[in-house]
Amino acid sequence: MSSPIISAIDVGTNSFHMVTASVDDNGILNILSRDKEIVRLGSSSGDMRYLQRDAIKRAVTTLKAFSKIAKNDNSQIRAVATSAVREAKNAEEFIELIKRESGIELEVISGVEEARLISLGVIHALPILSEKSLIIDIGGGSTETIVTENGEMLHLQSNKLGAIRLSKKYFDGI
């Protein structure tokens, strides 16, 4: 029996990522493809209050392409949105548009859930399962800090401190 193929989509503040994979009978993750597109969904300094029309247009185009790739791979899709959508006052409008245009159901996750998912990804990608580790993920809109030991998550934190947010705030005129 073949395992299902799943496409995981990360709708981030700066870029969108899609990883398509399956899990074999031994529980080993097999990456089939990786796709990335710089979308710059979040473009404001400080609180990212609204997703801008041009960024929404880029997001729709990218997610339509990702959806097409996933359908060609006969893949299920799980899509999560992080900081920019989490903070946007027009998030519901954006989520409805994405569903209508691409067929993708977008789940907005909390910063702590984002940290948890990052930790799982790192634990599967690097040989740190039996180590005590500090994981720091600097995204476009937020930074997640995770401490793990022997595969257990001891600390999960998300702060509104990301590369786009800080660049816009301190280096916008440069």
CA distance 135 to 117: 12
Q: Which of 94, 81, 72 is nearest to 17 (CA)?
A: 81
Per residue in 108-163, pLDDT tens? 999 999 999 999 999 988 999 899 999 999 999 999 999 999 989 999 999 999 98
Residue 103's SS3 state is coil
Chain-centroid distance, C-alpha 53? 20
The answer, yes or no, to whether residue 44 has pLDDT greater than 80, is no
Q: Give, in order, the Cα–Cα distances in Å from 67 to each of 8, 97, 104.
A: 11, 14, 7
Q: Which of 59, 55, 82, 44 is nearest to 159 (CA)?
A: 82
Higher pLDDT, 167 or 34: 34
Give me the residues paired with residue 21 across strands: 6, 31
pTM summary value:
0.91
Token pair for 47: 């609180």
Output phi, psi for 115, to 5 deg: -60, -40
Element (H, E) at 81: strand 76-81
The answer, yes or no, to whether residue 174 has pLDDT greater than 70, is no
Token pair for 88: 């946007």
The answer, yes or no, to whether residue 46 has pLDDT greater than 60, is no
Per residue in 77-89, pLDDT tens? 999 999 999 999 9
